[in-house]
Amino acid sequence: MAQAVNVSELPLQQLETLRSQLEQETEFLTTSIQQLKLVQSKYVESKECVNKLSKDNAGKDVLVPLTSSMYVPGKLEDVQHVLVDVGTGYYVEKDVGEARDFFTRKVEFLTKQIEKVQPALQEKYTMKQAVIEMLNQRIQHMAALNTSQTGTSKA
C-alpha cells in the first residue's frame, strides 16, 4: 500500500526525481488518452459508413482504398453485409445491423476506458504541479540564502 509523503520534507534531489517521474507518467497517460480517442474516432467513422449503406446504393461506383493514398474503382454490390476488422488481422463478415452494434459497443468501451484514465491523469498533473511549486520555493530560498551570505561576506 502506498504511503503519503510530505513533499516539503523531501531533499531537493528527491524532489527533482519525483518531478521527472510524474512528468513521465503524465506524458504516458496523455499519450494513452490520445491513442484511445484516435481508435474511438475510427470506430465512430466506421459506424457512420455502415449507417450510409442502403439498398439505394447497390450498384453504385465507389473508390476502394488499398492504402492511405491509393484507391481503385469498384462497384458496391452487397449492401447487406460487411467485413469487420476484429483485430490481429482477422475479419468477420457481419450484416449491417451486427456491424453497427459492434461499433457501438467498441465506442462505448473506449469511452469508459478514457473516463477511467482521465482522473488518474488529472491527479498526476496536480501532484506534478505541487512538486514543481515546492522545487521553485526551495530554489528561491537557496538563492536568497546565497545572496545574503555573499552580501555578508563582502562587508
Confidence of residue 4 (pLDDT cuts 50, 70, 90): low
> What would the mean pLDDT of 84-104 be, rounded to a whole number?
94
| φ and ψ of 77, to 5 deg | -100, -60
pLDDT exceeds cutoff 60 at 127: yes
Provide CB contacts within 8 A for 12, sequence distance 6+: 135, 138, 139, 142
Confidence of residue 151 (pLDDT cuts 50, 70, 90): low
Extract the C-alpha cell encoding 132: 514543481
pLDDT at 54: 86
Using one digit for the tens of pLDDT, what is the confidence trace for 35-60?
999 999 999 999 999 998 888 888 89
Q: Give the 3-state secondary structure of residue 95.
A: strand
Domain residue extents for the chain: 14-54+81-148
Query: pTM for the complete prediction?
Result: 0.76
pLDDT at 1: 53
CATH architecture of 14-54+81-148: Orthogonal Bundle (1.10)
